[in-house]
Every structure is written in C-alpha cells, then in structure tokens.
Chain A
Amino acid sequence: MNGSLDLLLIPVLPFAGFLLNGLLGRGLPKWLVGTIALLAPLASFAVVLRAALAVWGIGSTTPALPYVETCPIPWIDTGTLHIDFSFVLDQLSLVMLLIVTGVGFLIHIYSVGYMGEEEGYWRFFAYLNLFLFFMTVLVLGGNALLMFVGWEGVGLASYLLIGFWLHKKSAADAGYKAFIVNRIGDFGFLIGLFLLLANFGTLTFAEIASKLEANPGWQGGALTAIALCLLVGAAGKSAQLPLYVWLPDAMEGPTPVSALIHAATMVTAGVYMIVRTHFLFDRSPFALAVVAIVGAATALFAATIGLVQTDIKRVLAYSTVSQLGYMFLGCGVAAYSAAIFHLVTHAFFKALLFLSAGSVIHAMGGEQDMRKMGGLRKSLPVTFWCMTAAVLAIGGFFPFAGFFSKDAILYAAFLHGTGGKVLWFVGFVTALLTSFYMFRLWYLTFLGEPRSEAPHHHATPASMWSVCVILALLSIFGGWIGFGDGLGRLGAFLSPVTGIRAAETGAGNLELYLSIAAVAMAALGWWIADRLYRQRPQRPAELAASLVGPYRVLSNKYYVDEFYRATFVKPLMGISTYVLDWMVDKALLGGGVWVLAGIAKFFGAILQRWQSGNLRSYAGWLAAGAAAVLLFILLPWSSLLATWFGIHLNWGGH
C-alpha cells in the first residue's frame, strides 16, 4: 500500500464491465454475463469501502480530506482555462459513493433474478454498469465540467434503460420524454457552467469556494443567476416542478432500473449537485428561497397525485418526486446535511419499495394495477414484511430510517424564520399524505382478499428476496447514522463540507415536540387508510364518486401533461412540421436541389438525342465537324471573325 486510494478504479471498473458485456455479451453464456456484471460493481464497492475504512482511521494510512486524485493527462488546457480529470474524495462524495456502489451492487444482484428470463440480458447489465460508471464520475468529479460529463452520462444510461423494452412503444416514448425533459434542465446547468467560468475563471469546486471565501462581501447578483441556472439543472435531473413530468413515465423501464436510477441514485444527483455547490447558494438568499419553495411545492403536489394512482409503480414514482421535494426543501433552508441524510435513508427505503414492488409484479406475472392485487401477504411473506418496513420508514414512524431524516429537514425548516414555518407546514401536511398513500398501497396489495385470479404465483428467487431483506434492515436501522446530539453523527461527519449552521445545532424540547407531531400526522394517515381500505373497502369508490371534480383532476395528474402538450409540444411540433420541415427543408432546400437537378435533366434530355448509338450519325457529326473546321480556316471572313474574337491561328509555332 502506497497510500493511494485508487479513486480512478471506482468508475473504471464498471466501465470495464460495460465494455466486456456490451461488446462481447451477446455471445457469452448467461452465467458469465451475470458474473461480469456483478463483479464490476462489487470490486468498485470494495474500493469505496477501503477508502471509507481509511478515512475512518482503520487501515495503514489516513488520508487528509478532501483527497484529490488527478489523472496525469490534462483534459482541456487552453490559455487561462485548465481542466483536469480530477477525482475528489471528501465526506460528501464518500457518503454518496457508498450509496451508489452499495445499493447499486445490491440491485445488480436483484436484477440477476428479476431479469433472468429476459431477452437482451447482457444488454441490460451492460447499461447498468455504464450507469454506475457515469454516476461515480458524477459523484467524484472535482470540477463542474467533469460532473457535467457524469450528469449527461447518467441521463443517457437512464434513457437506454427506460427504453429497454424497445419494442414497446410506451417505453420508447417514455425514454424520449425523459431525455428531452432532462435536456431542458441540462441547458440550465450548462448556462450555469458558462456563468461560473465567466465569473470565476475556473470550474474546480475547491477554487470557486476559496475565491468566494476571499470575497466575503460578494452576495447575490451574478451568484443568484448562477445558482438559479444550476437549480434548473437540478430540477430537471431530480424531477422537481415544473420538470418532474418525465419521472412517472420512466416507470416503463424494468423495475430494478426504477429502483436504482429513478429512486435511489440518479434522481438524487440534483440534490447532490446543490449540496456540492452550496457555497454559491449560501451567498444568494433569493436562490435558496426558490429552492425551498420548489421543493415544498413539489413535495405537496406530487403527494396529492400519488393519492389516487392505481399503478403500483406510479404511486412509488410520485412518492419519489415528493421525497425529492423534501430534500430540496432541506437544501433550501440550508440544512444540507439533513438533505443528504434524507437522500441516504430514501435510497434505502425507496430502493426497497421498488424492489418489493418488483417482487409483487414478478409474482403477479407482470400485473401492475393495485386494484387487481390484494391478499398477497400469504403468498409473499418475505416481501410483505420488507414492504411493511419500507412503508413505515417512508411514513416517518419511529424508529425507522425515514423518521430521523424527515424530522431533521422539518425541524430545520421550522427554525428558518417566518417563511420557514410555512414550508414546515407544507412538509408536515405532506407527511400525512405520504403516510396515507403508502398505507393505501400496502392495504391494496397485501391485505384483504385477492381481487383477481392471478395465473399462478411465480416463486421469488433467493437473489431477489435476500436483497430485499438487506435493504429492509437498512431501512429499519439506517436512521441511527444520523442520530446524536446537535447535528447528529452524519451531520457532524459531513460538516467539513456543508458547514455548520447555528439553526441546525439548536437543541431542546422543540425538536421533540415537532417529532411527536410528525409521527402523529403519519399515524393519522395510517388510520385514514385503514378506515378506507381495510374496514370499508367500498368507501373509496363512494368518495371518488361524491368528489368527481377533485378526483378527476388528481387522477389526471392536474392535467400537467396535457398542459405541456398544448403549450410546448404542439407548437414545437407545429413549427417543426410546417416551418422547418415543409418550408425550410422541403421547399427551400429540397426545392433548390430539385431546380438544379431539373436544369441538368433538361439539358441532358436534349444532349441525349445526340447519343443515338447509330454509328453513322456519329461519323456524320465527325465529318461535319471536320468540314466546319476546314471551312473556318479557309474562308477569309472566318479568319477575320477569329481575330475579332481574339483567336490566333498559329501554324507551326512561328
């Protein structure tokens, strides 16, 4: 050991897996594809673990954080701009890496069972490894441009995996939608990068932070613009208002993909990016307020849609959007460590929710409609208990993981001035809704009587339920990493990166009261769900019938998709079809080409007659030509004409 942590290996190993499976996988046997696909993230996870142990002082050397590893080959080196492939390990990226590679590895194991009978098995795992490569680049990137590479790459992997069942039109469309909506966000991110470059002359996070530190009076202005641009990027990737529309559709992808990319890791990249650049947001109270408002609004908005969805994965998708809203809310009140804490616990319980849902779907033979499920508790006991743990965790019940993290965010919001009270209240109400729709899902799926004759219950392979059990344990006990005086253990660990704020450290009974109130709200949600879906199963339908208007609005997701279609998609399609396609392409460019071709064709048709193929006509033209030349030379007037045209007849070179 020479003290190096081999950070470069963390992304490179999954990339090697991607290359092997992507180039050769078609011809390899299934077990080999699976082995390669599992070894890559496992080895990557091992490297991360070794780094983590070294950071915690177990190991031969304890690196000083932030620990930077730079590729010796420079990337961009022009004039004053110098950008390297630099990977940075600090407390924040370490926590994120543990989640990405750890949960990523677990979901890889699950996928071996879940995708076992799929065609294109190798393709699936190649994409999954590619995703891990880009995600680790995103997390480790020491400058904004390298982060952007990872950012775009995970978008690509997400697109490929959403459209994995490429023969299914809805899946292909959902892939497009995710890609296009993300482009809008990425546009904001890119503008933010240029603004950073213009204002700071560098994209390295550490240099930007130190330049800001040297100018304590620099507030607002350009920084607000940069922060808002970055927020647009984060909102696209993390599915916040108004760019959340792609995430529910992304559920067309295979369920392990939904768990890994669209719940646990990729969609949290926006939160990670805000925390990573928090020194910019800290200097702009306005941008922070926007982040908080976007987060709170998204949390409430998505939770209300989740109330009435009937597709099990869509409920989870809206719940993901809502929980991401909580994280943004946490960022917006400058409680960055709380946001990361929620990110971690959310990765545990949301991955578990999706994987359990995947087990249910697998057992039901592909059925996703909760109205046709019910009574699965007996046939899927392990999944049932895992799901129960996850539901309690996301609902925020003590002592499950979600309780601690959600509580930390709400507490930080409550302490954040008068506006913070409003934000806290929104989050507080969302907690009730969250608990309600999660228990609704739980009752509809597992309890009661079976509502349809499932063809036959597929057995859940060990690779699937064992992963669920591990994640269930993490969902139950994972919250304790953030428990402790003041900031909590995780907060204290992250504080070198996120900074310490007085608001977060304020301890006392207030936090206890708020926690009790939040748990009471969650319990209320459970109680309502219990009344509606267990005691009187016909009641929800009656409620829906008596509240036709609100029900219709909610089940149509506030008509946001329709609104976007009418205001953005349709006009764009119109411009593309009529202006760009018909007028510019077909009329202007195509027409020009046709005119030129027509001229050539016209003269060709005339000259074609000359080429009769008749030998004698050729000879005739030849003779006529020779006679004409002869005539031209011999006749006196023709030589006059020649002089007039400037042609000098020259015989023999004199």
Chain B
Amino acid sequence: MIPLSWYLLLSAVLFCLGVAGFLIKRNLITVFMSIELMLNAVNLSFVTFAHQWHAVKGQIFVFFVMMVAAAEAAVGLAIIIAVFRVRQTLAVDRIDLMKL
C-alpha cells in the first residue's frame, strides 16, 4: 500500500510544475496546457482525500472539475486560434492589447 503522502506529494509536484510552466513558458498553448496540469494535480489530491476518508463527495468534485476543464479547453482553444489569426503569433508577452 502506497502511503497517502506520496499521492499528495505527486499532486504538489504536478501543481508546481503547472504554475512554473504557466509563468515561464512563452507559447500560449503550453501555458494552456500548464493550466490543465494544475487542474489535474488538484483532481489527484481530491481523489486521494476521497479515498482516504471514504467520502464520495471528492470524486464527484473531480467530475465537475473535468467538465469545467473540457469547456474551458473548447473556449480557450477557440480564443487561441482567433488570437493567432489576428496577431500571427502565440507569444504571451506580445499579446498585450489591454495594456495602457
């Protein structure tokens, strides 16, 4: 039996990777994937706790998160395509139209 802390550690590592990727990577698609990574890291900890406490609530939450992530992926990818059509680039630091 693998102890609980390992799952949590994996979840934390994945989440930190997601945050780092989000902050560091320039490509918008990679940034987007980093967000997915963070969401799934959280999903992992949800499932872990659900298993630990024998509470089904945590697992239901995971389905909600996946659903939102799917919707977000659909909308997000559409936005990314639209941005690329206009700007001919996917570098986040050049997509700064909202700046003063």
Contacts and interface: CB of A to CB of B under 8 A. Distances in A.
B93 A616 contact: yes
Interface in A571-622: 608, 611-616, 619-620
Given A614-B93, A616-B92, A623 B98 contact: no
B65 interface: no
Contacts of B74: none
B98 A619 contact: no
B96 A614 contact: yes
A615 B23 CA distance: 9
Contact of B98 (A608, A613, A616, A620): A613
B19 A623 contact: yes
Given A616-B23, A620-B23, A623-B23, A608 B92 contact: no
B92 A613 contact: no
Interface in B33-88: none
Nearest to A612: B99
B100 interface: yes
A347 to B, nearest CB: 73
A613 B97 contact: yes
Nearest to B98: A613
Contacts of A620: 23
Interface residues of B, number: 12
Contacts of B10: none
Contact of B99 (A614, A619, A623): A614
Nearest to B26: A616
Contact of A611 (B19, B93, B97, B100): B100
Interface string A613-638: 11110011001000000000000000
B22 A619 contact: yes
B29 to A, nearest CB: 14
B9 interface: no
Interface of A: 608, 611-616, 619-620, 623
21 contacts: A608-B100, A611-B99, A611-B100, A613-B96, A613-B97, A613-B98, A613-B99, A613-B100, A614-B92, A614-B96, A614-B99, A615-B92, A615-B95, A616-B23, A616-B92, A616-B93, A619-B22, A619-B23, A620-B23, A623-B19, A623-B22
Given A613-B98, A613-B99, 11 more contacts: A608-B100, A611-B99, A611-B100, A612-B96, A613-B96, A614-B92, A614-B96, A615-B31, A619-B23, A623-B22, A623-B23
Q: What are the 5 closest A-B residue pairs judged by CB atoms, nearest first?
A: A613-B99, A613-B96, A613-B98, A615-B92, A623-B19
